Structure 1
Amino acid sequence: MRDFEFLEPATVGEASRMLADLGDNGRAYAGGTALMLGMRQRMLTPSHVVYLGKLEALRGIAFDPHQGLRIGALTLHAEVARSPIVQQHYPMLASMASRVANPQVRNQGTIGGNLCYADPATDPPGCLMALGAQIVLSGPGGERVLAIEDFLVDYYVTALTPGEIVTEVRLPAPAAGADGRYARFLRTAAEHRPLASVALSVRREGDFCVEARLAVGASTPIPARLHRAEALLTGKAVTAELAAEAAEIVAADINAVSDMRGSEDFRRHIVRTVARRTIAGLFGVAAD
């Protein structure tokens, strides 16, 4: 790791100005789990690191029954997982957060830092996409709010502009009949990064699907909504046959990646299996 200057801004505005002035020579430090690894491997060599840990305005979890959930960008994955508010109103999110990476990362890594790193094989983005998340950014031009689909641009690329900082994640208030499930596939129990993930958020009346949001991650360059599968599920009683048909559409419609962890065909097969089991399991029908 090369030498660098460690800066500690006292406000979001000061941090934003520092990052804007430094450009490519500066990096924001939230939890540091990804940044420090990149710097140790000399994949990243910033001359300045801007530490955000003193910005208390970026911490905390709050819920309003009309406005929904607000999660500060510096909130730890472990804090999301154990929050009574999240467990009560967004159990799918709490379940996902409890499985992110490993205990060390969950107790050090932040939700905002995770989103900014934009690792395609991580858990939060797909789950948040299925829940309709918005990402709040603050920068030299002021504040702006993006749907997570617009924030995640490409493989390890986000819509952040120079000097911008993620300050908050917002989720809409859950509607009556809201339910959901997050599932992931790991090759072995020792793995921390899923090979495929499926997040399904629905409004339901018994086995009848009123509305669906389905996102696939890890096997795609960025998490993606599967609109054809959502449309198939919407307005129908979910059966094992319907779950299987929707899963076939999911596998056909994803932009599957091919790398050393698996070919496109293998990833489509895994996604198809996980999607079928997720849909069927949520509605209590047989998956196989």
Structure 2
Amino acid sequence: MRDFVFLEPGTVAEASAMLADLGENCRIFAGGTALMLGMRQRMLAPSHLVSLGRLDGLRGIAFDAREGLRIGALALHAEVARSPLVQAHYPMLASMAARVANPQVRNQGTLGGNLCYADPATDPPGCLMALGAQVVVSGRGGERVIDIEDFLVDYYVTALAPDEIVTQIRVPAPGAGADGRYARFLRTAAEHRPLASVALSVRREGAFCVEARLAVGASTPVPCRLRRAEALLAGQAVTAQLAEQAASIVAEDINAVSDTRGSEAYRREMVRVVARRTIAALFGVASE
């Protein structure tokens, strides 16, 4: 690892100015779990690190029945997982956060940092997409609120401008009959990065699906909504046959990647299986 200058701004505006002035020679330091790994492996060699550690306004988790959930960008994955507010109103999100990577990462890595890294094989992006989350960013031009579908652009690419910092993640208030489930496929118990993930958020009346938001991650270049499958589920009493139909549509519609971890065909099949089981489990119908 090469030498670098460690900067500690006291405000978001000051941090944004540093990013603008230093350009590509600097990186934001939040939890540092991904950044430090990249620097140790000489994949990154910034001359300056801009630490957000003194920006206490980027911490905390709050919930309002009308406004929904507000998660500070510096909230740790472990804090999201054990938050009574998240557990009570967004159990799918709490369950996902409790499974991110490993205990070391969960207790050091931040939710905002995870989203900025934009690794398609991490858990939070797809789960937040199914929940309709928005990302709040701040830069010299002021504040922007970006739908997470627009924030995540491509492999390790986001919509952030060079001087912008993620300050908050917003999740809409759950409606009547809100329910959801996040599931993923790991080839071995020792793995921390899923090969396929499915997040399903619904409004339901028993086995009847009023509305659905379904997102797939890990097997695609960027997590994505599966709107054709959502439309099939909405307004229907969910049966095992319908779950199978929707899962097949999900597998057909994704832009599956092919790499050393699995071929395109293998990933499509894993997504299909995880999607079918997730839909069936959420609505209490047999999946086999």
Instruction: Say yes or no: TM over 0.5.
Output: yes
SS in 2 for 1:19: helix
Amino acid at match of 1:97: A
Q: Deviations along 1:142-199, whole A, 9 cap, x unmatched?
A: 0000000000000100000011000000000000100000000000000000000000
Q: Deviations along 1:228-275, whole A, 9 cap, x unmatched?
A: 000000000000000000000000000000000000000000000000
Other-structure match for 1:28: 28
Show structure 1 runs of 4+ deviating over 3 A: none
Other-structure match for 2:11: 11
Other-structure match for 1:194: 194
Other-structure match for 2:117: 117
Q: Deviations along 1:3-22, whole A, 9 cap, x unmatched?
A: 10000001111001001111
Where does the alignment leave 5 or more consecutive residues of structure 1 unmatched? none
SS in 1 for 2:221: coil
How high is the sequence identity, in percent, across the aligned residues? 82
CA distance in 1, matches of 2:188, 2:20: 42
Query: Is 2:262 the counterpart of 1:275?
Result: no
TM-aligned CA deviation for residue 40 of structure 1: 0.5
Structure 1 residues 80-119: aligned runs within 5 Å: 80-119=80-119
TM-aligned CA deviation for residue 218 of structure 1: 0.2
Query: Is 2:167 the counterpart of 1:167?
Result: yes
CA distance in 1, matches of 2:43, 2:160: 20
CA distance in 1, matches of 2:161, 2:23: 10
Q: TM-score, normalised by structure 2?
A: 1.00
Amino acid at match of 2:277: R
Where does the alignment leave 5 or more consecutive residues of structure 2 unmatched? none
Amino acid at match of 1:276: R
Q: TM-score, normalised by structure 1?
A: 1.00
Other-structure match for 2:213: 213
CA distance in 2, matches of 1:44, 1:22: 15
TM-aligned CA deviation for residue 211 of structure 1: 0.1
Amino acid at match of 2:230: E
TM-aligned CA deviation for residue 113 of structure 1: 0.1
Q: Deviations along 1:104-136, whole A, 9 cap, x unmatched?
A: 000000000000000010000000000000000
CA distance in 1, matches of 2:53, 2:6: 12
